[in-house]
Structure 1
Amino acid sequence: MCVGMEGAPHEGVAERFSETNIMKKILAALVAFAALTAAAPATGADLGARPYYNKAPVYAAPLYNWTGFYIGGHVGGAFSGSNDFNGAVLSDSSARVLGGIQAGLDWQFAQNWVLGTEGQYSWLGKSNLTATFPGGYVYTNDQRGLGSITARIGYTWGPGLVYVKGGYAYSDNNERVTLGGVPTAFLLNGNHSNGWTVGTGLEYMVAPNWSVKGEYMYYDFGSTRFVTPAALAPFGSFHTDDHTLKLGVNYRFNFASPVVARY
């Protein structure tokens, strides 16, 4: 009994000692783990921050949009064809300076195609077309201007546009017939103020909202003959047409600014 009673306390002490050792080991492990955790940021700082690459924005090519309204002006020259009345007389074909205005509307209906309509008027420098007939009759036409309302279709490759056009043409004529210097009444069988025109040109955008162009146009107002005075009727008809070359500038209300792609 004494031996048994004396052994029990020794066993309790051994168990408490064992538990104490386990707790010490656990505590030591926790301290070590905490130390490693605290040291990790410092170690990362010693290695240096990760480099940051700031990508510059990628700039896309400018986008050109031809759709919209425009107004502008032009200068150039006009050349009237030489015509005769059955070989009896000739009209003047001298060149004249011109200057005028235009306005239009374009629609870019596909990547490379543009449809449009344009109204145009050109004032002509003074150069009378004169025909002198036997018997003292003199016919004079002071052509003061040329107008047109046309449709056009063009092919574009961004800032450039090459086009063809055609439609109605108008000639602002100031006509008279004199006999011995005195004005006399006359009658023509056709109205050579109204006709048709065709042309072609190249237009190019040179700055935001601004474009320049070069253009050729042919105007045809048909054939006309005198009904009265009777003395002029046998001389047959004469044909009225004009060739023009123009340089112009347009202000456009539709220019698309360059697009910047962001990444």
Structure 2
Amino acid sequence: MRRRPFPGLILLGATALQLLIPPARAADLPSVKAAPVSAPAFTWTGLYLGMDFGYTWSASPSITALSANLVDRSLLGWGPASALSASGFTGANLDGFLAGGGLGYNWQFHDRFVAGIEADLEGAGVRGGGGLRNIVPNPNIFGLSAAAVTGAKLNRNLEYLSTVRGRLGFAPTPNLLVYATGGLAFGGVSESASFGQNLRPSFFAAGEAKGSAFENRAGWSLGAGLEYALTPALSAKIEYLYYDLGSKTLTNAEISPLAAQSVLGLLPIFLANATNVSTRYDGNIVRAGLNYRLDWSVPAEKTPAGATPLLASPDLARLEAPQLGDWRISLAPYLWALGVNGSMTARGETAGSNLSFIDFLTKTSAFPLNFAGRVEASNGPFGVYGDLVWMQVRASGSTLQLRSPFADVLVAASADGHIKQTMAIGEAGVSYELARWKFLGAASSVTSLDAYAGLRYWRVDLDLQLDAAGAETSRLLGLNQLGARVDARSGALQWVDPVIGLRARHEFAPDQRFEARGDIGGFGAGSAFSWEFYGGYAKDFEFNGLKLTASAGYRALSIDYSRTGSDARQDGIKAILHGPVLSLGLRF
């Protein structure tokens, strides 16, 4: 039979246990509150600015020209040979280097997964093209080696490329991100063609036929990349992108008029062809870059799952505005490596002006760069500023069209324009600091927001010569008409636009900062509408006792102005001036 323990032994054991274990105090009791999760050593969440450099090459490497004869007054059947010799294709690889910058936001919604959105702008100026030469015999003429001989130059340019993309990434280690990306693509593309033809055995070639056009196009992009965090704020990336902006066709109502001496030297030969020049703008990009995360946008908290808030509240403190005291002045001449995309009109005649920075180097008649400078002065929250740009450029271009307003009726028209343009832009205004913040997690991080208003003066002197030619034909009506005229126009435009804008500056070190400013203006008081944007990086330093500031950025300025003269004809300009900006200035 099992015996129960003696009750006295149980009581004795309990008493001994109480003697061995000291009594617990309230302060020694464990806390029921969960231990706080420490902030991660690195998180991908935050707003970032970036810069990159890369190389692009074409996926569709050719340009195709197809011609059809409209008018044939040769009496010897030159039309088919003339059109066939003006048809063909040539290689036109859009290969070259590009550079730019971007803005984005990442959200690390899990310890291993990151989602984000990014927008970027690349200054390209990438161009490609080639020539073709065709000899097509005329079967209607025997024994004289009669043939249509055509030489053509076909070119295309990618002036700029911009994308707005989503990103989805996986972090195999805390500091390494592997991601896929895709979204919209935008680009400025231009296309040009020139044809020269001779009807052998004549020694007299026709005048050169030209056509060119610029267009802003939208498409899509897709790619992937790797990004590695070098520090909590700085990361390096390498990325591949494919872009597709679609196809563009230049309708060239040339070669017209074509005049070549006949074999017997009796009568000139007149021909008119319509030519379509088409190409596709798609390609591949490999680029490397750096991204800098703005410290005030990085959250300090992290969930147990390793995620960070989508839009974490930055740990900011509002600072007082600077107090009035001594004036601070900066004087900075700068180089604006600009391109121009748009059109100009003089007395009702319009010609395109689509020039990259390379075109400015090769096509200007005077000094190939612009003269520009900016001055700023501030005292406390108040400031004044002034900016001046002067440039001159000579350019030529053509607009060529083929229309069929009714069945069987074809109308071909071409306009070859030569432009000499001088432009001066002066600006002056005042600014006021609206707010200033300090990021508590970094002693040297300060962000400020200014508002500014001023006046922007424009003067554009334009000389335009237009050579126009046209042809119309109808087989049913028996209609064949050719015509040509030459116009020379000149004029000066000047106006003043009111402008209002905002400027944000983020100082992440005592001598380094990012700046972004943008404004809108015109409002019908001067131009119909204008806008400007500048974004860049600045570094303060001293050299031989001089206080200097070096900066690099990108500037875009858009204008839409027109007026009607006393003769009821239009004068105006509608264009975007854009390009990288480099500056080295003095501080006082």
| TM-score in terms of structure 1 length | 0.63
Post-superposition CA distance 1:8-38 (Å, at most 9, x none): xxxxxxxxxxxxxxxxxxxxxxxxxxxxxxx
Name the residue aligned to 2:222: 198
Q: Which runs of 5+ in 1 are unaligned?
A: 1-59
Higher relative contact order (CA 8 A, sep 6+): 1
- Among all aligned residue pairs of Structure 1 and Structure 2, give the percentage whose two residues are the same amino acid: 29
Q: 1:102 Cα shift? A: 1.2
| Higher CA-based Rg | 1
1:211 touches 1:250 (CA, 8 Å); kept in 2? yes
Post-superposition CA distance 1:144-186 (Å, at most 9, x none): 2221111111112311111111111122223333344857346
Post-superposition CA distance 1:27-76 (Å, at most 9, x none): xxxxxxxxxxxxxxxxxxxxxxxxxxxxxxxxx89532211110010111
Name the residue aligned to 2:540: none
Higher deviation after alignment, 219-228 or 199-208:
219-228
Higher deviation after alignment, 68-77 or 88-97:
88-97
Point out 4+ residue stretches in structure 1 off by more than 6 angstroms: 256-259
* 1:110–1:98 Cα change, 3 Å: same
Aligned pairs, number? 196
Name the residue aligned to 1:240: 281
2:188 touches 2:216 (CA, 8 Å); kept in 1? no
Name the residue aligned to 1:65: 43
Higher deviation after alignment, 73-82 or 91-100:
91-100
Name the residue aligned to 1:31: none
* 1:149–1:165 Cα change, 3 Å: same
* 1:193–1:249 Cα change, 3 Å: same
Name the residue aligned to 2:62: 83
Say yes or no: does 1:143 pair with 2:163: no
Post-superposition CA distance 1:232-256 (Å, at most 9, x none): 23x7x43221111101001002557
| TM-score in terms of structure 2 length | 0.30
Say yes or no: does 1:154 pair with 2:178: no
Higher deviation after alignment, 131-140 or 105-114:
131-140
CA root-mean-square deviation: 3.2
Q: Which among 237, 252, 260 is matched to residue 293 of structure 2?
A: 252
Higher helix share: 1
User: Partner of 1:109: helix, strand, or coil?
Assistant: coil
* 1:77–1:193 Cα change, 3 Å: same
Say yes or no: does 1:103 pair with 2:127: no
1:102 touches 1:119 (CA, 8 Å); kept in 2? yes
1:204-243 matches, cutoff 5 A: 204-229=228-253, 231-233=274-276, 237-243=278-284
* 1:215–1:203 Cα change, 3 Å: same
Name the residue aligned to 1:116: 116
Q: 1:94 Cα shift? A: 5.9
1:145 touches 1:171 (CA, 8 Å); kept in 2? yes
1:89 touches 1:133 (CA, 8 Å); kept in 2? no
Q: Which runs of 5+ in 2 are unaligned?
A: 1-37, 66-86, 135-149, 197-206, 254-272, 303-588
